[in-house]
Amino acid sequence: MTFAIDGLDPRPVFVEADLRPGLPGFTVVGLADRAVSEARERVRPAILNSGFTFPLRRLTVNLAPAHLRKAGPGFDLAIACAILAASGQLPVEPLAQLAVFGELSLTGEVRPCRGVLAVAEGARRAGVAGLIVPRERAGEARLVDGVRVVGIGALTQLGSALSGRAPEHPAVADDADEGARAGGAGEGPDLSDVHGHAAAIEALTVAAAGGHNLLLTGPPGTGKTMLARRLPSILPPLTRDEALEVTRIHSVAGLHDGSGLVRARPFRAPHHTISAAGLVGGGSVPTPGEATLAHRGVLFLDELSEFGRRAIEALRQPLEDGHVAIVRGQRVDRFPTRFALIAATNPCPCGRGGRACRCTEPELERHRRRLSGPLLDRIDLAVPVERPSARELREPPVASSQAVRDRVRRARALQAARPGAHGLANAELPSRNLPRTVVLTASAGRSLWRAYERGSLSARGRDRALRVARTIADLDGSDEVHPRHVAQALGYRHDGESLAAA
């Protein structure tokens, strides 16, 4: 048995080999892509160069089920095992109880390939006795509990692996909290490098504490990108379940080095020329996009107004639902997209904004049209980033990442322990759970309803303002949401100037 990666999910594949008298031939059937079909040219020399005999008969290898598309070189090892078992060079019974996955070189070396963690999860679900993988990826597979993992470096080691003489790969360090701490403090950009921008730092704190979306607006050179790139330094550590989820995604995408769990929350910053498929996923064989690679982390879109309209509009469903469904023919692949969107943009084409702006009204109108109302309605916090004064540049930093991260951790701990929240961050709370988790004082409730009755808030915007107010209260250590929390949350909305007076 081996596994095909369908989107992000492992699907069991049974490899069958049939030897018949006749002219020598080697055929692979079962909806195989070009990489799998080319396995014939890798497997044959790999078997010969490993000291085995390649059968000079009519050989057919079937990858079942036939309707499932098979892609990638990870089937090489399973095909070689099936051939060696069919020709009597390997025992069939122990091989039937195992799953194998790996690429072969022409010399018989077993090379690492992407998706090993997903394969290990599939092996656990299938209930197989063990899993044979490339030695370099055995530590990654070992992260899945309940699976006996054996790593081999060459086809010649198959015999000892099947007989049980090969040692299991030792466990790797997989403490997600310890790893996240190690990858957080002291590494990368820190808020202690920032002078001024107290309001923007507070907005970053709220975004990190609740997992909210944030838009930074201001002239060029004021520090929008600098602030956004410091957000990872204040994010809470990944839990073990989150780390496994992120590692599986990065393993399937070929971004993981096999050294263990991904230890830091993802931070993806694609260029503004990216296509819609590159941003949310797609392709003839659907693959994860940047939104999925940022799962449980941050997707940073610098110069938001320069992104293609089709690309950024494609984010509307992933931002709302937490996943994206890619449909190709009669198959549907779902990719998770629980990320915090952090965006930065200039106020106008010239970038100056306000009284110094030199843009004409048609230019301003075109600039405003680049960002649609439905997209802006999904952004929880919109903060202007102004040029810091000379005095602010001379003063000590407003905060350090360590101090802010401690506040964020305390707020996340309150959210995780709150009844009805099910361990979710505030931004992920379903609307039906808000009445139980967001306890408003009477005056706070009246303030929110007055803002809604003015017509500037949509129903979605009201729910998002509630979630932000809950996060601000968590940062204050308050069980109840007070009017000041609601006022601050409404002030963060992109139409906050009209709402703040409500």
Residues 399, 453: one domain?
no
458 domain-assigned = yes
What's the DSSP call for residue 180?
Answer: H
102 domain-assigned = yes
What's the DSSP call for residue 414?
Answer: H
Residues 182, 204: one domain?
yes
Question: Is 357:218 a contact under the CB 8 Å cutoff?
Answer: no
Beta bridge partners of 100: 132
For the chain, 502 residues long, give each residue's pLDDT as a single digit of tens.
999 999 899 999 999 999 999 999 999 999 999 999 999 999 999 999 999 999 999 999 999 999 999 999 999 999 999 999 999 999 999 999 999 999 999 999 999 999 999 999 999 999 998 999 999 999 999 999 999 999 999 999 998 888 777 666 555 544 444 443 334 444 679 999 999 999 999 999 999 999 999 999 999 989 999 999 999 999 999 999 999 999 999 999 999 988 788 988 999 999 999 999 999 998 878 899 999 999 999 999 999 999 999 999 999 999 999 999 998 877 888 999 999 999 999 988 888 777 778 888 888 888 888 888 899 999 999 999 998 999 999 999 989 999 999 999 999 999 988 887 888 899 999 999 898 889 999 999 999 999 999 887 889 999 999 999 999 999 999 999 999 999 999 999 875 443 333 3
495 domain-assigned = yes
Owning domain of residue 434: 429-499
Q: How many domains is the chain partitioned into structurally?
A: 3
Q: Which of 350, 319, 322, 354 is nearest to 336 (CA)?
A: 322
Residues 242, 188: one domain?
yes
Burial call 379-394: b when 16+ CB within 10 Å, e when fewer:
bbbbbbbbebeeeeee
CATH of the domain at 456: 1.10.8.60
For residue 214, the Cα-to-chain-centroid distance in whole angstroms is 18
Residues 342, 229: one domain?
yes
Q: Could you report how far apart the first and last alpha carbons of the chain are, in Å? A: 64
Q: Which of 177, 283, 187 is nearest to 233 (CA)?
A: 187
Residues 155, 183: one domain?
no
**Gap between the Cα atoms of 103 and 433, Å rounded:** 47
